[in-house]
Structure 1
């Protein structure tokens, strides 16, 4: 399926400007790129990025981690809850180089409203100022902080979910592996992985088939990774979680891929690896969607379908940590 006309028309001006791409940018030029690509907080631009429902309160809190503190954006229903709410720990996308927790504000706020949950989105450190493993370590430590402090802000540490989109999905998978192998980490009820790049050492047909798309090109993906990883070995499972030696015992996964995405094939590939390890998986590839589509629901009406799929899956998974019976399908 081709991309919607509105996507092709509205994304062309951005791609025409070399100022709006990571390609050719030095480390000194990255902060300005972040400012240019930051999502709008108000005005007409929010017609594309979506708005926070009035029923959801949004604020910033501090996560005190070993030797550092991070900002965390918190989404909570305004209505008082009778019981502690589920906690969804989110990691935003942006190639480990750009972005912040407001990148998919609409999606996180909708999750909070529809699941009566607390969503906390972590403002982890970015490259090139903070190359690997800074983002990975922030993700692991912030997830454990969320579990340890959840009750202080109305959350239930026994009902926790990992969420990540793009680079954030890579971090979420890394957290799931680290907490499975550690003795002090949370036990996650589910992991929601949105267009996940989980094998940064591999070659996939989609990287060629969709090398040039409006939202992300293969060349841009490589440029982001150059800032984050430099010459590091990409087969390290903290960098490429799909290449971990053992995936048994990981939380049930909901994996969303987009048709027009250089990373499209990695989502289904990870789903197969998880299934082979006995992990329940629901995997959907959305036709006509591009990388990052859940950050711009105004461009991609299919975002609402993907949101509904995630919500329905989590409603089944949250009561128990190992709910079976998730099927695979392609929309």
Structure 2
């Protein structure tokens, strides 16, 4: 239920509020997004039942969905021209937050669970600092009329990037799905496959598959988009094969090493797809296009994880991991087929 409520808030914001910053300006919408996140954190500090917890999860989803249409777009607006830095930062920096949050939370749960609410107090302080930073920053959009029309649900894909949507969906969903698997089953893998009854070890496992992506994303500067997608997905797939071998054989060091390698290649292929879309999209269309991308990605990932993860009650985590591997192998084959047919020339 918690995940469903979070996803509901995420989709609502992506559908209705993604283009709002094109009319009100980036800064007011970003500040509103941060305020939603702060209220969500406050609900977690004082949570005393399921209702307040679910309200917090909904507000989390709402703020995360809105961030795709305003914060990521704001980063792209202010990035140096003719540089991939904006795409690399907007796509991968959140993963550093996930990693820090997972490791800190796990450490507290292992050592002093009563202090868990302190994490949200710290996050609230950091979010207030972010509001100050946004207030003193320069607006990148001129406010204009049409706010009411902007909240009309719209899934927008410009004609010049339609041909890249299938390959992007395949790469986005296959990579996001693996991250979702680790988020759900890191604790189970730590205990059942490696014998560690520790939340911190589980967090290390989760972090090893997401944090190195930002390093892998920088490799897009050295490769063409087509090559980055192909090399990225094949490297990701091969690394996951060895991840599964290590998981079955309970080789923890090999498992972590291959997770890191898989994450590097994941960052390469994921960021190359996003870079391809961003550089073919006009500034006024950016917020809507990014929102559409995340609607497709999150929807496909949630459905895939729901279908595959449901099998865990009938089999072992290792067998579920093999099913995920099969899904990625299919995605790898489709990537090579589609990249051979797509014209990557700029229109």
TM-score by length of 1: 0.28
Q: Which has the higher helix share?
A: 2
Flag the structure with more relative contact order, 1 or 2, with Cα contacts below 8 A and sequence separation at least 6: 2
Q: Which has the higher strand share?
A: 1
TM-score by length of 2: 0.27
Which one has a bigger Cα radius of gyration? 2
